[in-house]
Amino acid sequence: SMSFNEILSMTRDFSRINSVWGALIKGSSVCFGYASAYTYLMNRRGIPCATVCGNNSEETLGTGHAWNIAELNGEWCHIDCIFSDWEQSEESKSRGEVSYVYFGLNDTQNSLSHNFKLPFAEGMPRCASTKNNYFRVKNLLFDSVDLRKIANRVVDVLQESGFGIKKTGYKTIQI
């Protein structure tokens, strides 16, 4: 059996990891804490944002989950900070890399990995646009498969990142 102090300690820890405090001050949080912190920061900047509760639809997880919707550039979109953080390897995190896979998704894209809980979803703004999708904003999406265009874009991104790459022709790249 647990003592009262052990139960009290667990309760305090649980409330911290589900809060803005846990996410921003303590550096330790679960999805609801991440989403609450993101909502807080966006709202402080005057950007409409809300925390959405539902569950992830990953077969291996299928658990309760929280993420955000925000109005960016006049369009609502889904943003999931913890999924972007969670899916990274410790090695990539140690290099300061950031994943943007779950930034700026529309409802269709988001529904591949998230389910909304009613009744909140009934009043939730529709996220219909892909305008704020990170990969679209950064011009990392292609409308068609053109290997030359893809190769050139990969080289451009690598050059922007400081890699010593130069184009020597459309079929060959020298590193």
Closest by CA to 101, choosing from 87, 112, 116, is 87
Task: Quote the tokens at residue 27.
Answer: 């550096």
For residues 64 and 43, what is the distance between their CA atoms, to the nearest angstrom? 24
Phi/psi for 156 (5° steps) reads -60, -45
For residue 22, what are the CA distances in angstroms to 26, 65, 165? 5, 17, 43
The tens digit of pLDDT for each residue in 141-160 reads: 766 677 777 778 888 888 77
The tens digit of pLDDT for each residue in 5-63 reads: 655 555 556 566 677 877 887 777 888 888 999 999 999 999 999 988 887 766 445 56
CB 38 within 8 A of CB 81: yes
Is the full-model pTM beyond 0.75?
A: no
CB 168 within 8 A of CB 151: no
For residues 8 and 21, what is the distance between their CA atoms, to the nearest angstrom? 18
CB 106 within 8 A of CB 113: no
